[in-house]
Structure 1
């Protein structure tokens, strides 16, 4: 994992995350991958520069295939060997821990990193994504379209689909990822 010059945001995230008041999906990805959890309140208690640094860690290619950068607004980065990725993930976790201790007064919640992340399976569209499509009145992406998405794009759609109510970013994400074809949205 490398750090970029700017926060890694999808275009649909910019209106709600440009000032980093909300936790961007790139940070959520790294939190999930490292088995860490922080609340929105904790995130907002971190200094802005710390949030920029954490959001600037690139989301890289990994298990599940495909470059993890999005179309516009998210840098594409090719993988380095997995040991380098694990070391960089440890750097992200160490920075977060230090800043949480300093500014929040406690470390982030931690657990075992998961064996896989939401959207890792290129062959199987999660039922939650199909449910969000139904709520939004959108066609469900076909198997080929789902498999063609980057791992980070699949992760984003799966994360946006966790709840049984329509996520306000779901249709913009589907549009940005070019999964809305000739449909009224």
Structure 2
């Protein structure tokens, strides 16, 4: 069971044991532009998954190092080439000054109050990423409301 403080309460039952990809790793994968399927993730050693949780991925050099590490793990564990994607610097979620329209619309569809600009600004980049990711079209996103509660955005 991972004890990382970056694994949120709403994802503990499925990500705490690192059986599923936690938001902290999803964010890093988006920043690094590497796709990891759940099938691939489950073929990684626990130590490799823990490394992906712990390894820094903020500066351009750290992002490059993270991408290299993940690509190496994919190739070593799956004998498949890594699938590289366009790197996502988080223009939609990283801006603390504006609540993305997608988050506002999704909140209204779920009958919860959208985050106010002040609430959005007070979130960490990982929290903003998580809320944004949990509003993806075509997904059930059942953890949206629990995440909003955990981050103090709704009661």
TM-score, normalised on structure 1?
Answer: 0.73
Following the alignment from structure 1 to structure 2, what is the Cα–Cα distance between the partners of residues 118 and 47?
33
Q: Specify the alignment match of 2:153 in structure 1.
A: 179
Q: Where does 1:120-135 land on structure 2 (aligned, <5 Å)? A: 120-135=94-109
Distance 1:7 1:142 in 2: 25
Higher relative contact order (CA 8 A, sep 6+): 1
Is the contact made by 2:33 and 2:85 (CA closer than 8 Å) also made in structure 1?
Answer: yes
Partner residue, 1:54:
52
Equivalents in 2 of 1:121, 1:44: separation in Å?
32
How far apart are the structure 2 equivalents of 1:44 and 1:159?
21
The corresponding residue for 1:167 is 141
Q: State TM-score, norm by structure 2.
A: 0.86
Gapped regions of structure 1 (runs ≥ 5): 61-84
Summarize deviations over 1:106-126 as a string: whole Å, max 9, x none.
232113423434411223222
**Where in structure 1 do 4 or more consecutive aligned residues deviate above 6 Å?**
none
Q: Is the 8 A contact 2:98 2:117 kept in 1?
A: yes
Q: How does 1:18-33 map to 2 (within 5 A)?
A: 18-33=16-31
Moved more, 86-95 or 51-60: 51-60
- Report the aligned-residue RMSD: 2.1
**Greater share of helix:** 2
Moved more, 109-118 or 154-163: 109-118
Distance 2:13 2:108 in 1: 25
- Measured in 1, the distance between the counterparts of 2:55 and 2:8 equals 14
CA contact (8 A) 1:145 1:179 kept: yes
| Equivalences, count | 153
CA displacement, residues 7-47 of structure 1 (integer Å, 9 cap, x when unaligned): 73112111110111111111111111111112111111112
Shift of 1:89: 2.0
Unaligned runs of at least 5 residues, structure 2: none
